[in-house]
Structure 1
Amino acid sequence: MNLNLRNAIIQNVTGNTQDELKDTIVDAIQNGEEKMLPGLGVLFEVIWQNASPEDQQEMLSTLENGLKR
């Protein structure tokens, strides 16, 4: 991913409230458009980088359970 795209996405949501961030995430998921995936990836990157090791482990468990068939 282009670094400029990452910065643009972060700049676009910096200062948003939790409700605005949730709306952004929910809209991207419900929309289902491929072009929204990089934005969700950048948001996840921010979450991951700011999470404790325990929170990261919980996210991995949630992801693993969500991917089970």
Structure 2
Amino acid sequence: MNLNLRQAILSNVSGHNADQLEATIDDALQKGEEKMLPGLGVFFEMLWKESEEQDRQEILQTLEKSLAE
């Protein structure tokens, strides 16, 4: 069985607007289930690829701050 998890995740949210994407992310975070992590990882990958260097630095600073708490 050849499963492309990344493509399946993108297919599930294709065409969603910002409100729907926010609801998906909030739901994944509230449930805290391990099975939701790949989807959040795909979202992060997309965010990272589309971000300018300044935005990436801000993301990294936010992550660093969160990990220090």
Identity of counterpart residues, as a percentage? 57
The equivalent of 1:7 in structure 2 is 7
Structure 1 moving runs of 4+ over 6 Å? none
Secondary structure of 1:15's counterpart equals coil
The letter for the 2-side match of 1:30 is Q
How many equivalent residue pairs? 68
Normalising to structure 1: TM-score of the pair? 0.93
Q: Partners of 2:46 and 2:40 in 1: how far apart? A: 10
Q: Deviations over 1:1-32 (max 9, x none)?
A: x8710001011111100000000000000001
Report the RMSD for the aligned CA atoms in angstroms.
Answer: 1.4
SS of 2:16's equivalent?
Answer: coil
Unaligned 5+ runs, structure 1: none
1:20-35 equivalences under 5 Å are 20-35=20-35
Question: Would you say 1:50 and 2:50 are equivalent positions?
Answer: yes
Structure 2: give runs of 5+ residues left out of the alignment.
none
